[in-house]
Amino acid sequence: MSGGTLPPIESVSGGSHGVRAGYAQMRALASRIERQAGDLAEMAGLGARVMADGDLLESSVLSPLTFADAQVQVLDATAGADGLAVRAVGLEADALGVRAVVAAFEASDALAWHLGETIDSTLGRVTGRALAPALPALLVAGGLTYAWWSTASVEEQAALGDELADDVGRLVHDHPALAQHLVNSGGGLVDGLTGGLLTGTGLLDGGGPIERASTNDAARLMALLLGNDTEFTVERIDGVDPSPVQRRAPGSLEDLMVSLDDTHLLDRTDPDRHGAIQVQRIVDEHGERSIVYLPGTDDMSPVGRDGGPVRDMETNFQLIGGLDSAYGRGIQQAMLDAGLEGQDVMLVGHSQGGMVATALAADPGFTRHFDVRHVVTAGSPTAQVPDLPAGTSAIHLENRGDAVPLLDGEDNPDQPHRTTVSFDAGSHDVVDNHALDHYISGAAAADASTNGSIRDQVERMRDDGFLGTGSARVQTFVITR
């Protein structure tokens, strides 16, 4: 479906060929070695029973020399220097060595993660403490800057705005790791600015392993300050014609992104469709399953309003902070209204939609109603969800230069059933880098990839019936506050 040159895939982490999967395979190898050692030890014990066999002992009278030779041969094969017992001990040592290597690797990974978290948090806190006494002066300087800005011509304001946007875009595209570390220092920054007064109050409790304020804590604080509203309404809308792609089962990751974009565009033609999601029900000879398409943020205003868009900044803060959200609750109700109770489902989301999809897949209250087999996200920060159930597979698409996936301040967890695909369809335009058309191209690049983790994820989708052939029908729901 896509035309032109596909964007290069820069990295693939996690999945069946990821680091954690490698650790699991090494442990499985150690288990096989241990079973082999047990078999050899059992065979060594059989040698003792052979030497004590009555018929063999009776043969010593008739042929003492061959009897003695047989005893020596059995002893040598079972308990000798190169016998089965020694080999069994050697294999046990090998298995122990493999397990020790895996443990050392995991300890090294954990140490590196803790060190990075500590450095980011400390830098943020030090910066916050340094800025706190200067806040009045900074506010005055900000006021003077705004006064100067307001006197500038429209052309000068536009030029300065473009220059600032380009500088930010260069940072995000050329140095994404640095941008991610800056975001990750947010919890420490807030902690420093408040002089540590909020630490231990439950607002900045440092719930992570390093016991310091994290970016998730800062987002949680913002959500609470904005009201942490989770009330919602759900309405089914009839008369929405599905796109040609949505009328059939998707055949690829690219098809999933195209259908997601079709859902995203609904509110462009009708403002009353802000908060629209769509349920694509696939029917074939194997039964029925559903794909739920979840677009991203509709409204950038910081404070939600009754009857207003549910995909706003308050919801973003709730999701990064690990809180419940009106969007998530509304999605669950819409899926129940669509009759998906107990059904196999796939959740496909862009930006905030991918955040809520990942959060719902890890929520026992949600998975009690639906069997989430797959999650596909595009341009979404998802590291705030550390684990997904073993029966749920996820593939996370991230475009270089897109700032949104960096807002969790973390790399996505490396897990055997969770794959992150980073591609470069970006420029220095931060807003454009987040657009779904880039993710359509990135999905096409993933479809064409020979990477083992990607291929295994896609094949699992096919095996579960979410990619393939068959007809489909679409239902549309609008979720509002």
Average pLDDT over residues 343-361: 97
**3-state secondary structure at position 112:** helix
Residue 4 is assigned to a structural domain of this protein: no
Residue 115 within any structural domain of the chain = no
Rounded Cα–Cα distance for residues 410 and 141 (Å): 33
Question: What SS3 class is residue 18?
Answer: coil
Q: State residue 159's pLDDT score.
A: 75
- Over the stretch 140-153, which tens digit does the pLDDT of each residue have? 666 767 676 677 77
Q: What is the mean pLDDT of residues 413-425?
A: 94
Q: How many domains does the chain have?
A: 3
CA distance 475 to 477: 7
Residues 164 and 82 in one domain: no
Domain boundary among 225, 259, 276: 225
- Are residues 435 and 297 located together in one domain of the fold? yes
443 in a structural domain: yes
More confident residue, 174 or 476: 476
Q: What is the pLDDT of residue 208?
A: 46
Within a domain: residue 465? yes
> Within this chain, do residues 221 and 252 fall inside the same structural domain, yes or no?
no
Q: Are residues 178 and 131 in the same domain?
A: yes
Give the Å distances, CA to CA, from 225 to 229, 314, 317, 320, 465.
10, 9, 10, 15, 43
Confidence of residue 196 (pLDDT cuts 50, 70, 90): low
Read off the pLDDT band of 54 (50, 70, 90). Answer: low
Q: What is the pLDDT of residue 235?
A: 94
The boundaries of the domain holding residue 402 are 9-16+233-480
**Same domain? 152 vs 264:** no
One domain for residues 153 and 284: no
CB within 8 A of 78, min separation 6: which ones?
A: 43, 44, 46, 47, 48, 84, 85
Band of pLDDT at residue 209, cut at 50, 70 and 90: very low
Pick the range with the lowest mean pLDDT from 57-61, 77-81, 321-325.
Answer: 57-61
pLDDT (tens digit, 9 = 90+) per residue, 98-120? 999 999 988 988 888 888 878 87
Q: Tell me, yes or no, whether 138 and 206 share the same domain.
A: yes
Q: What's 363's DSSP letter? A: -
216/192 Cα distance (integer angstroms): 16
Do the domain assignments include residue 266?
yes
Mark whether 65 and 132 lie in a shared domain: no
Q: Is the pLDDT of residue 406 over 60?
A: yes
Out of 225, 256, 291, a domain closes at 225
Say whether pLDDT at 430 is over 70. yes
What is the pTM assigned to this prediction? 0.84
The two counts, helices (H) then strands (E), for the chain are 18, 9
Q: Does some domain include residue 3?
A: no
| Residue 325: pLDDT over 90 | yes
Residue 284 has pLDDT above 90, yes or no: no
Residues 191 and 334 in one domain: no
362 and 271 assigned to the same domain: yes
Answer whether residue 397 is part of any domain: yes
Mean of the per-residue pLDDT values of the chain: 84
More confident residue, 93 or 174: 93
Mark which of 173, 198, 225 sits at the end of a domain. 225
Does 277 share its domain with 420? yes
Do the domain assignments include residue 2?
no
Question: 420 and 300: one domain?
Answer: yes
Distance linking the first and last C-alpha atoms of the chain: 37
**pLDDT score for 71:** 66
Query: H helices within 298-385, ranges in order?
Result: 313-320, 326-337, 352-361, 364-367
| pLDDT attached to residue 88 | 81
Beta-carbon contacts of residue 371 (< 8 Å; ≥ 6 apart): 342, 343, 344, 345, 391
Confirm if 362 and 394 have CB atoms less than 8 A apart: no
